[in-house]
Amino acid sequence: MTDLYCVFGNPIAHSKSPVIHAAFAGQTGEDLRYEARLAAVDGFLAAISAFVADGGRGANVTVPFKEEAYRRCDRLSDRAARAGAVNTLQFIDGGVYGDNTDGAGLVRDISVNLGRSLAGQRILLLGAGGASRGVIAPLLAGRPAALFIANRSPDKAQQLATVFADLAAGTALSGGAFPELAGRQFDIVINATSASLSGDSLPLPAGIFAPGSLAYDMMYGKGETPFLALARTQGAAQCADGLGMLVEQAAEAFTLWRGKRPQTAAVLASLRATLS
Ligand code: NDP
């Protein structure tokens, strides 16, 4: 019998997850169907129940339900517990297990697809929302020299630095406001804000991109994102959007559900072609 999976979100029509998981299933020979399900903003729990009643085995969760998914879970992976958000659900033995694969997806995209080691790097993380929170532990596991979290509301960035301090080991971990970036340089700058969604540009002081630096935007879409355009003009040597992160977090979820890790390179290349 074909196993059923889905992604919940609102809106959800734009989601690329069904295409990605169909490609993974074809490649690994797994018999599954993956669909996009729109949940009402106040109807996420009901949507989960209906999906389980339909025989659903697992689901991804996207905006705006990741925190609600976290609260619904009976059991959590360590990384989901740390993130305070869940993007992957598994319906198992009558209960709900929650994981968060976003951070692993980002780190795999940077280290494998883009070929950049995190070790010894000075990393700047822009934003202190759910996406930022989900990637801090995996970034720290890569043993960077420094991780600075900058946010429009600086108290949230400082709070995150405190929450993750026990994982920092040899990394100088701190948080603050955008003006505090003046005079500092970074090897990897990651945009985890949603500023581009509202067409706003970030108030980044000139000179923060070190020679050879990588600018990474979790956002993706047709053409260059506003953040990557800014980074390029400010001297970032390498620019990447979040399409690779999307495919890698999906691969991580697929591996959890099916016990087989799919190959991502061809899937990423064909998605990229649909965006150009
Ligand atoms: P949240 O709403 O939780 O957080 C938004 C963050 O952006 C906050 O830090 C907020 O600052 C900041 N922000 C919003 N508008 C502005 C602005 N005009 N200027 C400066 N800062 C701003 O969102 P998420 O963390 O869930 O998502 C962030 C982004 O990451 C989204 O664009 C999302 O699409 C992307 N993403 C991509 C993934 C992928 O697979 N590629 C996976 C997950 C997320 P403040 O605290 O001051 O409000």
Reading the block at residue 115, the tokens are 């070929």
Q: What is the pLDDT of residues 179-211, one digit of tens each?
A: 999 999 999 999 999 987 777 889 999 999 999
pLDDT for the residue numbered 223: 87
Q: Who's near 135: CB < 8 A, 6+ residues apart?
A: 102, 103, 106, 107, 125, 190, 192
Whether CATH 3.90.226.10 fits 103-241 = no
- Of 4, 21, 17, 101, the C-alpha closest to 58 is 4
- Of 193, 107, 185, 93, the C-alpha closest to 148 is 185
* Gap from CA of 127 to ligand 1 centroid (Å): 6
Which band of pLDDT confidence, cut at 50, 70 and 90, is reported for residue 253? Answer: very high
pTM, two decimals, is 0.96
Highest mean pLDDT of the ranges 158-167, 189-198, 219-228, 267-276: 158-167
Measure the CA–CA gap between 276 and 270, rounded to whole angstroms. 10
Q: What is the pLDDT of residues 70-127, one digit of tens each?
A: 999 999 999 999 999 999 999 999 999 999 999 999 999 999 999 999 999 999 999 9
Question: What mean pLDDT do residues 58-75 have?
Answer: 96
Q: What is the pLDDT of residues 6-54, one digit of tens each?
A: 999 999 999 999 999 999 999 999 999 999 999 999 999 999 999 999 9
pLDDT at 251 over 90: yes
pLDDT for the residue numbered 254: 98
pLDDT for the residue numbered 189: 98
Ligand 1 atom 41 nearest Cα = 242
- The secondary structure of residue 276, as a DSSP letter, is -
Cβ atoms of 69 and 86 closer than 8 Å? yes
Cβ atoms of 251 and 147 closer than 8 Å? no
Same fold yes or no, 3-100+244-275 and 103-241: yes
**What amino acid positions are annotated as catalytic residues?**
66
Ligand 1 atom 3 nearest Cα = 129
Query: CA 128, 46, 71, 94: dihedral to nearest 10 degrees?
Result: -140
Say whether 85 sits in a helix, a strand or coil: coil
pLDDT at 67 over 80: yes
- Residue to mutate, 194, 220, 241, 245, ligand 1, most ligand atoms under 8 Å from C-beta: 194
Say whether 142 sits in a helix, a strand or coil: coil
Boundaries of every domain in the chain? 3-100+244-275, 103-241
pLDDT at 133 over 80: yes
Query: CA 91, 92, 93, 96: dihedral to nearest 10 degrees?
Result: -50
Does a cis peptide bond (omega within 30 degrees of 0) precede residue 11? yes
Residues with CB under 6 A from ligand 1: 102, 127-132, 151-153, 156, 192-195, 197-198, 200, 202, 218-219, 242, 245-246, 249
CATH superfamily of 3-100+244-275: Leucine Dehydrogenase, chain A, domain 1 (3.40.50.10860)
* Gap from CA of 28 to ligand 1 centroid (Å): 33
pLDDT at 136 over 90: yes
* Gap from CA of 119 to ligand 1 centroid (Å): 25
pLDDT at 132 over 80: yes
Measure the CA–CA gap between 24 and 20, rounded to whole angstroms. 6
pLDDT for the residue numbered 35: 98
Query: From edge to edge, which strands make up the β-sheet containing 56-61?
Result: 32-38, 3-9, 56-61, 88-92, 95-99, 75-76
Measure the CA–CA gap between 229 and 239, rounded to whole angstroms. 9
State the burial class of residue 224 (Cβ atoms within 10 Å of its Cβ: 0-12, 13-18, 19+). Answer: middle
Q: What is the pLDDT of residues 204-241, one digit of tens each?
A: 999 999 999 999 999 998 889 999 999 999 999 999 99
pLDDT for the residue numbered 104: 97
CB atoms within 10 A of CB 134: 27
Closest ligand 1 atom, residue 196 Cα: 32
pLDDT for the residue numbered 258: 98
Parallel, antiparallel or unpaired: strands 3-9 and 56-61: parallel
pLDDT at 257 over 80: yes
Ligand 1 atom 46 nearest Cα = 153
